[in-house]
């Protein structure tokens, strides 16, 4: 069975728990309807499932991690609601973004409500797990803030180390926390917890690199978001950072001009992609993601081989090979 199909079997457990956390009551439909418009579209749900797999990998009962897993997925979806507004995105999971349906004011309000429901649910977890989640949530926001600042300032001198710092917070932190808290709930030893935390960070960064790649050269029907959106937003991805120092001076200036123009013109977007391809930047990013996952998988060897660790290994491969 493909790993994505195996994840799909676990997703209903997460969805059922999220419905307990955010019930759709008549007196709150203006808040919860936009939330469930997004949640009902599905998603891979790999973050909460990684939490449960990490719990089981250290000998715990994955059901004991379900509450924390649901909180992680809810927080992730809360960030998507607001991120799509901040980024001016058009599509999410194959449909118009929530703010395109309900308008920006209502969507911001629903995002705020989603965060409040999530924080309320955190009262039901132990203080040590709650602290890990709080720290990861703050890192996610700080990472997003860093990237938004780069975009608004049209920053041209972002270094590769800066990119990894930003994406480690924006994307890696929550996936890392999913693995760390799962291992904590499962009663793992400190070395096991630390290893799964590091594995989650590496896989999270590699996942974001692959997401950036798909945004440029993916198939829209599979990716389910607009292709080239990162060019329009002028994002400084690993690929653009690499290209700016591995292309000709003329093409460098052309790429900067395209990124700074916030263009929606398909021809201009494709010209930007062509410059990245010519500089070898897309292949460079692919190899970097593969290397990170390879090292992360090696570290998991300290865990006993069982169905959960095997799924974590296969999931890591899927996240950098995926087309959706």
The 10s digit of each residue's pLDDT in 192-204 is 999 999 999 999 9
pLDDT of 281 > 80? The answer is yes
Residue 23 sits in a domain of what CATH number?
A: 1.10.600.10
Average pLDDT score over the chain = 93
Beta bridge partners, 95, equal 92
Q: What percent of the chain clears pLDDT 70, i.e. is strictly above it?
A: 98
293 Cβ contact list (under 8 Å, min separation 6): 202, 203, 206, 316, 317, 319, 320
Domain count, the chain: 1
Is residue 255 within 8 A of residue 243, CB to CB? The reply is: yes
Does the structure show a pLDDT above 90 at 226? no
For residue 91, give Cα distances in angstroms to 221, 262, 268: 11, 17, 20
**pLDDT value of residue 165:** 98
Torsion sign across C-alpha atoms 294, 296, 297, 298: positive
Backbone φ, ψ for residue 156 (5° rounding): -105, -15
225 against 57, higher pLDDT: 57
Residue 220 binned pLDDT confidence (cut-offs 50, 70, 90): confident
Neighbours of 251 (CB within 10 A): 18
Q: What is the pLDDT, as a whole number, of residue 305?
A: 87
Rounded distance between C-alpha atoms, residue 78 and residue 164, angstroms: 23
DSSP class of residue 169 equals I
pLDDT at 51 over 70: yes
Task: Kindly tell me if the per-residue pLDDT of 83 is higher than 70.
Answer: yes
Between CA 100 and CA 107 the distance in angstroms is 9
Q: How confident is the model at residue 3 (pLDDT cuts 50, 70, 90)?
A: confident
Q: How large is the average pLDDT for residues 50-66?
A: 96
The domain containing residue 10 runs over which residues? 3-321
Q: pLDDT grade, residue 1 (50/70/90)?
A: low
Token pair recorded at residue 160: 């590769």
Q: How confident is the model at residue 4 (pLDDT cuts 50, 70, 90)?
A: confident
**What's the Cα-to-Cα distance from 242 to each of 87, 147, 182, 278, 280, rounded to whole Å?**
22, 17, 35, 11, 8
How far is Cα 35 from Cα 54, in angstroms, rounded to an integer?
Answer: 28
Give per-residue pLDDT as tens, 154-194: 888 899 999 999 999 999 999 999 999 999 999 999 999 99
Query: What is the per-residue pLDDT for 90?
Result: 92
List helix spans (H) across the chain: 3-21, 29-39, 46-57, 66-87, 98-102, 104-121, 127-153, 160-167, 173-185, 190-217, 220-223, 229-233, 238-244, 249-260, 266-278, 281-299, 307-321
Q: Which of 12-16, 162-166, 205-209, 216-220 has the lowest average pLDDT?
A: 216-220
| Residue percentage of the chain with pLDDT more than 90 | 83
Mean pLDDT computed over 240-266: 95
Q: What is the pLDDT of residues 98-150, one digit of tens each?
A: 999 999 999 999 999 999 999 999 999 999 999 999 999 999 999 999 999 99
**46-57 and 66-87 helices, crossing angle to 10°:** 150
| Among 19-28, 161-170, 198-207, 298-307, the least confident range | 19-28
Burial per residue of 104-121, b for 16 or more beta-carbon CB atoms within 10 angstroms, e otherwise: eebbbebbebbbebbbeb
C-alpha to C-alpha distance for 270 and 71, rounded to whole angstroms: 39
Q: Considering Cα of 104, then 105, then 110, then 116, what sign does the dihedral take?
A: positive
Question: What pLDDT shows up at residue 181?
Answer: 98
| Side-chain-side CA neighbours of residue 198 (13 Å) | 15
- Given a cut of 90, whether residue 8 has pLDDT beyond it is no
pLDDT of residue 172: 98
39 neighbors 77 (Cβ within 8 angstroms): yes
For residue 312, give every residue at least 6 positions away whose Cβ sits within 8 Å of its Cβ, in sequence order, or none: 50, 53, 54, 57, 199, 300
Query: For the residues 227-237, what does the mean pLDDT come to?
Result: 91
Pairwise CA distance, residues 49 & 73, whole Å: 9
């Amino acid at each position: 069975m493909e790993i994505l199909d195996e994840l799909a079997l676990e997703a209903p457990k997460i969805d059922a728990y999220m419905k307990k956390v955010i019930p759709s009551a008549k007196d709150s439909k203006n808040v919860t309807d936009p939330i469930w418009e997004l949640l009902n579209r599905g998603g891979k749900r790999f973050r909460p499932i990684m939490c449960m797999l990490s719990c089981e990998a250290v000998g715990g009962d994955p059901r004991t991690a379900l509450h924390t897993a649901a909180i992680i997925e809810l927080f992730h979806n809360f960030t998507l609601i607001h991120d799509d507004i901040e980024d001016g995105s058009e599509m999410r999971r194959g449909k118009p973004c929530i703010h395109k349906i309900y308008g920006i004011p209502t969507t911001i309000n629903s995002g705020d409500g989603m965060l409040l429901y999530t924080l309320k649910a955190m009262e039901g977890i132990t203080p040590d797990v709650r602290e890990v989640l709080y720290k990861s949530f703050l890192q996610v926001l700080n990472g997003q803030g860093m990237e938004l600042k780069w975009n608004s300032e049209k920053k041209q001198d972002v270094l590769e180390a800066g990119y990894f710092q930003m994406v480690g917070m924006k994307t890696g932190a929550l996936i890392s926390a999913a693995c760390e808290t799962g291992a904590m709930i499962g009663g793992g030893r400190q070395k096991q917890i630390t290893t799964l935390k590091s594995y989650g960070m590496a896989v999270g960064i590699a996942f974001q690199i692959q997401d950036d790649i798909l945004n440029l050269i993916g198939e829209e029907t599979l990716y389910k978001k607009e292709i080239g959106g990162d060019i329009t937003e002028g994002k400084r991805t690993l690929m653009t950072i690499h290209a700016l120092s591995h292309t000709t001076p003329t093409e460098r200036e052309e790429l900067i001009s395209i990124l700074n123009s916030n263009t929606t013109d398909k021809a201009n977007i494709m010209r930007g992609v062509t410059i990245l391809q010519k500089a070898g930047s897309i292949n460079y990013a692919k190899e970097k993601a593969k290397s990170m996952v390879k090292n992360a998988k090696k570290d998991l060897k300290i865990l006993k081989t069982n169905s959960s660790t095997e799924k974590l290994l296969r999931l890591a491969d899927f996240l950098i090979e995926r087309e959706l």
